[in-house]
Every structure is written in C-alpha cells, then in structure tokens.
Structure 1
Amino acid sequence: MTTQFQPELALWEDTLPGAAHWSFVMKRGTALRLTDLEGGANLSALFYNAEEKLERYNMADTLKAQHTAHLSKGFVCYSDMGRVLCSVIEDSCGWHDTLCGMSDAALVKARYGEASYQAQRNAMHRNARDSMLIELGKWGLGKRDVVANVNFFSKVSADDAGNLAFQPGNSAAGDFVDLRFEMNTLVVLSACQHPLDPNPAYQPRPVKLTAWRCGTPDAADHCRNFRPENTRGFYNTELLFR
C-alpha cells in the first residue's frame, strides 16, 4: 500500500472545468487526487456503493462517528451501512465543508443573473443540484438519491449562536486532497460555486482529477486508527471483500 502519489502508478488524469460535472467509478484500492488549479475552487461530491447504489454517503454518521463537522486528513466518509466509502489520506487544504449542501437554479439566478444555454452556450450558468441530477440519471438514480454532499476546498465555520460563515481563500492554487477508496464507489462531482460563496461574480474554478493505484490499508493505517469508530468501520467494509 502507498498513500503517496507516484506517477508510475497513475491510471488517468483529467481536468473538470469550472461549473462542469462528471461521474465515474473508483475501484477499491485506488486513490483520487483533487487539485485546485487556480485557488478558490469548490467541488461538490456525492458517493455511492457502485455495486448497490441504495448504499450511499451518510453525512450524519460520518460526522458523529468521528466527532467532527468538517473533513481533513485522517477522516473517512461513511455510508449509511456503517462502511467506509473513502478516506482522506492527504490534504494540503485542511478543511472541507460537509454542512451546507449545494447550489440550485433559484440561488444561481438570484445571485448571478440568468444565462441560458440558448443565449450563452457553454458560458451558461450552471448549478450544482441540476448538475448532480444529470449525472445521477446516467446511473439510474434521481431526485430521491440526492443526499447531503461534501464540498471539497470550501470552509464554513460556525459561531456560538450557530451562524455559518463562509471563509474566502481557504484553498490556494495547487492545494489538493487525496481520497483512497475502500469500496467500489460511484463518484459524482460538480465544480459549481459553494452556495455561501459571497463572490458576486459567477466564477466557478477548475479542478484537476488524478487517479492512481494505491492498494488497501493495513492495520497501522492512519485513517483506520484516526478515530476509535473507524477501526470498526474498516472491519465492516472489509467483510464485503473476504
């Protein structure tokens, strides 16, 4: 097993333009590096068990099992079956939002104005929710399958009264996060802006995707031992592959 990216182990690489969307399957024992190319990116992500898509990322279980409200190195993404879909094995950014959901058509229109495909072609204004639905439809999924998502590269903090505040500049150009997949996982992505981003301009940023073979974790793995509950989560996951 290697948690460090090595070019000779690379499987593929691509760039997701700002506001674009994509979906694909990552196999157990592979990893995916997400790189913010320009700074200020937001990448909304949903995760599903590729073999049984009724099992999917569960925000509530992920947070309560690990006593956190955000993701960074060491944390894992739990499914609603108590299994680990993927683990954050490296992270130069340090904070990834799990609470604030994704933009929709009404929000984008109200904040940035209307820019339809008929008028603007590829410069049209996209929103994350509709983008996710387009991708989910390719896999036989739909509206009922949209759950709370992760917003990679975005930081939202809360004060003592529970008010949420978006933190501009959380991610700089070149910042990255590496995800190791512990199950065969359907990954659904949208590079639209965060719903709380105060930038008045429609300026979604591109994200580079790099996949490689990393192997499966051993007993000394950092993510496995990062929180007590994670040891059981990895055990539950590995039962599927014995």
Structure 2
Amino acid sequence: MSIQNVVKSGLESAAVTVVDEICLAGEPWVKVVKKGQIFRIIDLEGNQAVDTLFYNAKDASERYSATDTIRRQNKLYLTTGSKLYSNLGNVMLTIIADTCGRHDTVGGACAAESNMVRYGLKKFPMHSCRDSFLHALAHDPVCQQLNMSKRDIPSNINFFMNVPVSEEGGLDFADGVSASGKHVEMRAEMDVLVLISNCPQLNNPCNAYNPTPIRLLVWDYSEL
C-alpha cells in the first residue's frame, strides 16, 4: 500500500504494510488486526460477497454482533462512519472509507443445507461459506489457541453483497452493487481476529455466478 493511497483514504500518514494477500474464491482467511491498524478489503473483479466475522483477539466470546450494530445506529446497512459493535457493546472497528456504498448485515452465511433448499440439485458444487468458517476454526492456529468451534459462528457481515429488505421485512438476494476495485476500509478499535469466507457460491446471481478473488491489506501508520 502506497503512501499516496493512504492519503487518498484520509490518513495524513506514512504507512507500513503488514499484510498484503490474495484470498481466492471459496477460501477462508484468518488474521489478527491490532488496535489502530487499518484493514482494507478490495473486491478485485466486482460483485463478490465477502462473509466476515470479527472477534476480540484475546477472548473470542466477545464477537461482532449484528443486533447491537444495527440497533445502536438505527441503520440496516454498513458504510463510511459505521461502527461495528460487539455482543458486549464495545466498538470493534470503524468503517473509515467505502467506495462500494453499502454492505449487508442480515443475509447471513450460506450453508450446504440452505443452498440445497434455495437452489435444489444444481450441477455446481454446494461448498458454502459456513464450510469455510468451520475449516478455518478447525485448522487455524489462532482459532485453535482460542478454543473456537462451530458454536462461535454468529451472524456475519456480507461485505459488497446486495440484500434488499422489502417493506414487509422480506429479503431478496439481488444483483451486486459493487464493481472491480471497490473497497471498504476499517480502523480496528481493539485487537481483532478477522475470519473471512470469500464466498464460493456458484448458484447465486449476486456475483454473476462467478466467485472471484479478493485482496486484503493491513497496515500501521504514524503521524507525520
């Protein structure tokens, strides 16, 4: 991440990149982002869905809460200025830049069971975001150190995913609102464990039936 890009996002600072990685479609991704660090997710090819969970990196029983995040801000979608609250009422991260416009808080993660109900017997594989989460919890050293298991999967954020809510309260998985190169950027307000499933869904039109890679960056910065 160049200093020029950091300045464009509003940080008058010199940046030190600590993570710059690609996560392929269908793969999980786990990292600790320390308090004060900046975390950016880039939708490389557009209209991908990035299912994301956040945990207190020291105690995974404190984790992102969709209920607290929606209720405290009286907003269903996330964008610049949104604060991500934990189940203990603490701010975990703040969205400081967003070129997509809004991100879903209620659609949840696809599972093999829900995929079968929604799409029936399709020719495409039914690998799911919940499967990716479970794989990471079972194999990632940090998750293992925190004794995490399937009981630790709450409702997640779907970055870049478009899930309109009707006046009657119904959900509709619609065409995406993102595009190639769109990004969302967050400042960690505590040490957080980030758990991502880069959605593998081949049967959902939200990503034009073409799940794609994402780029993930974390950097430190110091005031000039």
TM-score (normalised: structure 1): 0.77
Aligned twin of 2:3: none
The secondary structure found in structure 1 opposite 2:212 is: coil
Does residue 156 of structure 1 match 2:163? yes
Aligned twin of 1:85: 92
Deviations 1:117-173 (CA, angstroms, capped at 9, x unpaired): xxxxxxx65210011011123312111111000000012111211222233130000
Question: Following superposition of structure 1 onto structure 2, how do residues 124-163 of structure 1 map, counting pairs within 5 Å?
Answer: 125-137=126-138, 138=140, 139=143, 140-163=147-170
Aligned twin of 1:113: 122
> Structure 1 CA distance, aligned partners of 2:17 and 2:92?
21
Aligned twin of 2:57: 50
Amino acid at match of 2:132: S
Amino acid at match of 1:167: A
The secondary structure found in structure 2 opposite 1:70 is: coil
Tell me the matched-pair count.
208
Overall identity of the aligned pairs, in %? 34
Residues 113, 197 of structure 1: CA spacing in aligned structure 2 closer, same or farther, 3 A cutoff?
closer
The secondary structure found in structure 1 opposite 2:168 is: coil
Does residue 189 of structure 1 match 2:209? no
Residues 104, 167 of structure 1: CA spacing in aligned structure 2 closer, same or farther, 3 A cutoff?
same
The secondary structure found in structure 1 opposite 2:84 is: strand
Q: Which moved more, 1:191-200 or 1:43-52?
A: 191-200
Residues 207, 177 of structure 1: CA spacing in aligned structure 2 closer, same or farther, 3 A cutoff?
same
Aligned twin of 1:236: none
Amino acid at match of 2:128: N
Unmatched segments (≥5 aa) in structure 2: 1-5
Displacement of 1:8 after TM fit? 4.1
Does residue 211 of structure 1 match 2:218? yes
Displacement of 1:113 after TM fit? 3.4
Aligned twin of 2:38: 31
Q: Which moved more, 1:207-216 or 1:47-56?
A: 207-216
Aligned twin of 2:68: 61
Unmatched segments (≥5 aa) in structure 1: 116-123, 217-242
Residues 214, 87 of structure 1: CA spacing in aligned structure 2 closer, same or farther, 3 A cutoff?
farther
Asked whether the equivalents of residues 29 and 197 of structure 2 are also in contact (C-alpha less than 8 Å), the reply is yes
> Structure 1 CA distance, aligned partners of 2:112 and 2:186?
29
The secondary structure found in structure 2 opposite 1:156 is: coil
Residues 60, 194 of structure 1: CA spacing in aligned structure 2 closer, same or farther, 3 A cutoff?
farther
Displacement of 1:196 after TM fit? 9.2
> Structure 2 CA distance, aligned partners of 1:184 and 1:44?
20
| Bigger share in helix | 1
Does residue 176 of structure 1 match 2:177? no
Deviations 1:164-184 (CA, angstroms, capped at 9, x unpaired): 223313000010000111111
Displacement of 1:12 after TM fit? 2.1
Does residue 101 of structure 1 match 2:108? yes
Displacement of 1:74 after TM fit? 0.2
> Structure 1 CA distance, aligned partners of 2:126 and 2:165?
29
> Structure 2 CA distance, aligned partners of 1:74 and 1:167?
24
> Structure 2 CA distance, aligned partners of 1:214 and 1:165?
40
Displacement of 1:206 after TM fit? 1.1
Residues 7, 153 of structure 1: CA spacing in aligned structure 2 closer, same or farther, 3 A cutoff?
farther
